[in-house]
Amino acid sequence: MQSPILLGLVASGCLILAGCGDSGTGATSSESGAVAPPSAPALSDEEKLAVLASLPAPYNAADLDNGRRAFARCRSCHTITPGGPHLSGPNLHGVFDRRAGGLDKYSYSHALRNAGFDWDAAALDQWLQNPRDFLPGNKMTFAGLSKPEDRRDVIAFLKVETGYRPTQDGPAEQEPDAE
Ligand code: HEC
């Protein structure tokens, strides 16, 4: 009962279902959309895979489904949709390349507010391994993701889902472009 979002979803799901159920016009009501994930301003699956493929190793080999599952551990405290609410933790949309502790409207710990770095995959990997050791004094009460694959997958998941776009700083290092 901690997540107003979940409650909201359940509630709207019930409404839709109730509407369908009451006046069953057809034997096969289309259930496909009824309990679908929240309005995704998101990419198509194809586009997500393209973003995934564009990530530097090892993230391009990540398992997005596992990343989604791992992110379930974060959802009670974080939303990832654009303009999503802050819960006990800040909204994470656009977190990559953003200054740590950089959102004005969220009340960060002193430690994170003044950490003085931008979030990238490497920093996030350390943070998620052990938030307390990575940045003493921060207020994210999360034990950490001990498995490297879970961190890899959740970071790739976040890149794909929080608006990161490959064209921004694509890893063009070793690609000898054909002319
Ligand atoms: C129990 C609640 C909780 C859980 C679970 C949690 N976080 Fe957090 N998270 C926080 C809080 C609170 C902060 C702000 C910390 C501070 O200000 O010191 C935070 C901060 C962050 C930040 C920094 C954001 C910024 O704007 O600088 C990132 C990134 C982050 N969390 C990612 C995650 C991920 C990914 C997970 C899951 C693997 C996770 N968190 C799980 C509560 C949580």
pLDDT in tens, 123-158: 999 999 999 999 999 999 999 999 999 999 999 999
Q: Is 128 in the pocket of ligand 1 (CB under 6 A)?
A: yes
Q: Is 142 in the pocket of ligand 1 (CB under 6 A)?
A: yes
Q: In this predicted model, what pLDDT tens digit does every residue of 31-90 receive, in sequence order?
A: 444 444 444 456 889 999 999 999 999 999 999 999 999 999 999 999 999 999 999 999
DSSP reduced 3-state for 47: helix
pLDDT of residue 4: 52
Ligand 1 mean position to 124 CA, how many Å? Answer: 10
pLDDT of residue 172: 44
Amino acid of residue 7: L
Q: Is 157 in the pocket of ligand 1 (CB under 6 A)?
A: no
**pTM of the predicted protein model:** 0.76
DSSP reduced 3-state for 8: helix
What's the angle, vertex CA 48, arms to CA 78 and CA 80, rounded to 5?
10
Instruction: Look at 135-139, 164-168, 175-179 and tell me which has the smallest mean pLDDT.
Output: 175-179
What burial class does residue 66 get, using C-beta atoms within 10 Å of its C-beta: 0-12 exposed, 13-18 middle, 19+ buried?
A: middle
Q: Which two tokens stand for residue 86?
A: 């802050």
pLDDT of residue 68: 97
Higher pLDDT, 129 or 16: 129
Report the first-to-last Cα separation within the chain, whole angstroms. Answer: 58
pLDDT of residue 42: 62
pLDDT of residue 164: 85
Mean pLDDT, the chain, rounded, equals: 80
DSSP reduced 3-state for 99: strand
Q: Is 141 in the pocket of ligand 1 (CB under 6 A)?
A: yes
DSSP reduced 3-state for 118: strand
- Burial of 12-39, coded b for 16+ CB within 10 Å and e otherwise, reads eeeeeeeeeeeeeeeeeeeeeeeeeeee
Asked if 155 contacts 66 with a C-beta cutoff of 8 angstroms, the reply is no
